[in-house]
Structure 1
């Protein structure tokens, strides 16, 4: 058990990993460098393994350090959420609901849906967090969130599942592209043209690779990006095309003069779902939020 791990130590450890230098981390956190070194050394002694290693490009975390870094960031995010939720109660909020959602859901209409709910329910507070679909499932399973929203293409047999919005995968391209005037395109027509992938290894990437394999084809991306917004920027800059969720992408079309041509394949139509834990009574606020989201989705 590491008795020397506290919030201050976690912040200092994150700073050292991000700066790659103890002196710079100390300056950033307004503390003397020797105190930073002592705190980290105390944790290393407690756990019995090194957390940091000095390389040619500065200090980097070891394998154990990577684990601590990941967990430290999660702990600080949880502390920030706790502080925000408690502040809400001081402002008249009587209940709070934590929501985690996949990036495509966040990029879509979730913000507008939550905004309409908060306007109608001033006594309820909501905290939201963007996670990958596996992380959404994990957060709800472990009780870190009351509500999860994600693409319903994973095993959700251990959850209460309710429908949310639908989406359609589209080919995102510039207006002058040869396919820009098409009403729809088949995936097999554009496999060789796809050059940008969002969240490599994620659910969308996995599905596209699976469908390409089914067609005895191979996807070969030139660029990998972490978010829908970055993909939009790359497509708008003429760096290639990408398959993206229509609901999230349309919010960028006017701003960046892009065209979104729906894929005609049946699998390109996606259903997002709302998940909660089974055998755990939902609070009234949670039930009200879910009913509101379903109502908004039904009017899509």
Structure 2
């Protein structure tokens, strides 16, 4: 059998989007052309690859098998281009990175500009995901690098300790909780909250720990970014549960106050994961090393036992 790489890329794009039009659009192909190509691919293979449902397009068992092989095939093609490209100057490629909100906003985004400036021919596709879904996505080859909070218990991935962060409560200056240095989280649930949007991993975690305490957080407003959350807190709208890494500048400027949490989950280890057994393209390996060697990240790994980076206490 002979297959066109364009058809295989289209098949995978449709599978990941679960929608023919969206998959076609991502490859700049018309929906009618995509439908024709997909029909030809199914005829060449001799079986149906998708089930059309009200929710979208779901892979058949044959489609699941093909998707697994296509991911490996396209990764091999990328690696081939990478190895040949080493004979020309500079790194070239596209890197897919999944991260939870705290690592994305607290460490990755502040640092990654340096990598992109130094490697103008490398692009990075950043996507926020909840920590618990990232390992499966990396194991399946849906992304190249994953960074998440907490222990990783999943097959098919390699784990490297990335950074350490602390979840704190940020408060308006003069808030009643400012009199406390450390509290249990349940005590904070008597007050109004500000949080990230409803689909963010930050809000989903807030809901989870509140439910463990037998309460429900009263979120007065959902904001689109941590900067917006901190601004709303500083204006007195409510308090917020945020990673210390995203609040350092606001705390140093005394725009907000903080209280530490006497909770085992407040100290969070962030891990970087890769698909097991895969040889990384040079540009992906370069980004991994850049992220791990970022001075701010290294500092948190060295201060894991202190709970808070020393720089905030100076």
TM-score by length of 1: 0.61
CA change 1:155–1:221 in 2 (3 A) is farther
Q: Partner residue of 1:250? A: 248
Output aligned runs, 1:1-300, within 5 Å.
10=25, 92-96=89-93, 97-117=95-115, 122=119, 125-133=122-130, 136-137=134-135, 139-152=137-150, 155-200=153-198, 202-253=200-251, 257-296=255-294, 297-300=297-300
CA change 1:172–1:189 in 2 (3 A) is same
Gaps of 5+ in 2: 1-10, 15-19, 37-52, 58-77, 301-314
Q: Distance in 2 between matches of 1:249 and 1:286?
A: 29
The answer to whether the 8 Å contact 2:107/2:245 transfers is yes
Q: Distance in 2 between matches of 1:148 and 1:101?
A: 6
The answer to whether the 8 Å contact 1:113/1:293 transfers is yes
- How far off is 1:168 after superposition? 0.7
Report the number of matched residues: 232
Q: Distance in 1 between matches of 2:299 and 2:251?
A: 22
The answer to whether the 8 Å contact 2:220/2:237 transfers is no
Gaps of 5+ in 1: 12-38, 47-62, 69-81
CA change 1:209–1:262 in 2 (3 A) is same
- How far off is 1:226 after superposition? 4.0
Q: Distance in 2 between matches of 1:6 and 1:92?
A: 37
1:245-283, CA deviations, whole angstroms, 9 ceiling, x for partnerless residues? Answer: 111222444568112322121211111111111122223
CA change 1:216–1:146 in 2 (3 A) is closer
Worse-superposed segment, 192-201 or 170-179 = 192-201
The answer to whether the 8 Å contact 2:193/2:218 transfers is yes
The answer to whether the 8 Å contact 2:172/2:257 transfers is yes
CA change 1:180–1:117 in 2 (3 A) is same
Q: Distance in 2 between matches of 1:221 and 1:112?
A: 27
- How far off is 1:186 after superposition? 2.0
